[in-house]
């Protein structure tokens, strides 16, 4: 779940939390979580809003190395109405306990609402 706030029309601060299940890892299957906060710059191009920005947070759980994470995020929001949008996003989580190449790539598709 993500909660965001537009500090200007083009800048959004956000907090994001997710639960996940690891399958086929060296430590076995299990549940984990990821919580991040970040800031994104949005370009408003009609009903299309591409965005990019950094995030930082914490990851924990079975099959992962618990620890602080940081990384970039990129994506696009597609406005369906003034208040509703669809999104696609991808990010990379670098855990400070590993080399940068040992991070986790993740992404998502979904729908959101503006209040």
How confident is the model over 5-58, as pLDDT tens digits?
Answer: 999 999 999 999 999 888 776 667 889 999 999 999 999 999 999 999 999 999
pLDDT score, position 26:
64
* The length of the chain, given as a count of residues: 115
Here the tokens at position 43 are 């370009």
| Residue 85, pLDDT above cutoff 90 | yes
* 51 vs 97 pLDDT, higher one: 51
Mean of all residue pLDDT scores within the chain = 92
- CATH fold of 2-98, please? Outer membrane efflux proteins (OEP) (2.20.200)
Here the tokens at position 64 are 């992962």
* 24 vs 112 pLDDT, higher one: 112
Domain ranges of the chain: 2-98
pLDDT score, position 71:
97
pTM, entire model = 0.85
CA dist 14 and 83 (Å) reads 17
């Amino acid at each position: 779940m993500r909660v965001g706030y537009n500090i200007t029309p083009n800048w959004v601060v956000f907090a994001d939390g997710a639960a996940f299940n690891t399958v086929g890892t060296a430590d076995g299957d299990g549940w984990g979580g990821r919580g991040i906060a970040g800031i994104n710059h949005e370009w408003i191009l009609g009903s299309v809003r591409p965005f990019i920005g950094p995030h930082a947070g914490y990851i924990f759980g079975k099959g992962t190395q618990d620890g602080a994470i940081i990384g970039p995020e990129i994506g696009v929001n597609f406005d369906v109405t003034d208040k509703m949008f669809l999104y696609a996003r991808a990010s990379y989580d670098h855990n400070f306990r590993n080399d940068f190449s040992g991070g986790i790539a993740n992404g998502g598709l979904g729908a959101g609402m503006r209040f």
